[in-house]
Amino acid sequence: MDATFCPVETLKGWKQGEVVEAVTDTSCIGYTTVFYVVMNKQVWENLPEDIRGIFNDVNREWIVKHGLAWNEADDEGREFITSLKPPRKTFTLSEEEQARWRAAVLPVIEDYVKGDTPELPRRAFLEALQKAIAE
């Protein structure tokens, strides 16, 4: 395998670390996997307020727990590749290279926010996400 663009946890979980020679940390441009659950808006609006509250409370609690679980799985992936014989090389992009990568993905982000609508406030979502990452 010449290359793969994947979550770090797959290096162990999918054993990709066994077939690659090196890993480059590309976290400066984001993660490679997104998970979400959707519900028909009309169905959501027809749920009783207390039931919607339960969904919201559970989401607030589990967003952090789920994120921590992925971080732990990624840590295991990193540990796995260093435990292999020979250990896999790990590259961290320089600040200059990270800036170049961010600039390269900027058109994708700009294109995403062009689809901003009241029903799907993409810019507000992106800004909230960037703020959470910074924190």
Reported confidence tier of residue 121, pLDDT bands at 50, 70, 90:
very high
Mean pLDDT computed over 85-89: 92
Tell me how far the alpha carbon of residue 97 is from its chain's centroid: 20
Whole-number mean pLDDT of the chain?
90
Mean pLDDT computed over 104-122: 92
Supply φ then ψ for residue 45, to 5 degrees: -65, -25
Question: Quick one: pLDDT at residue 50?
Answer: 98
**Rounded Cα–Cα distance for residues 92 and 77 (Å):** 16
Domain ranges of the chain: 1-92, 95-135
Supply angle C-alpha 95, 8, 84, rounded to 5.
105
Place of tokens 């689809």: 115
Check pLDDT > 80 for residue 34. Answer: no
Q: In the chain, what percentage of residues exceed pLDDT 90?
A: 61
Mean pLDDT computed over 56-84: 91
Query: pTM of the prediction?
Result: 0.73
Estimate the crossing angle of helix 122-134 against helix 95-114, to 10 degrees.
150
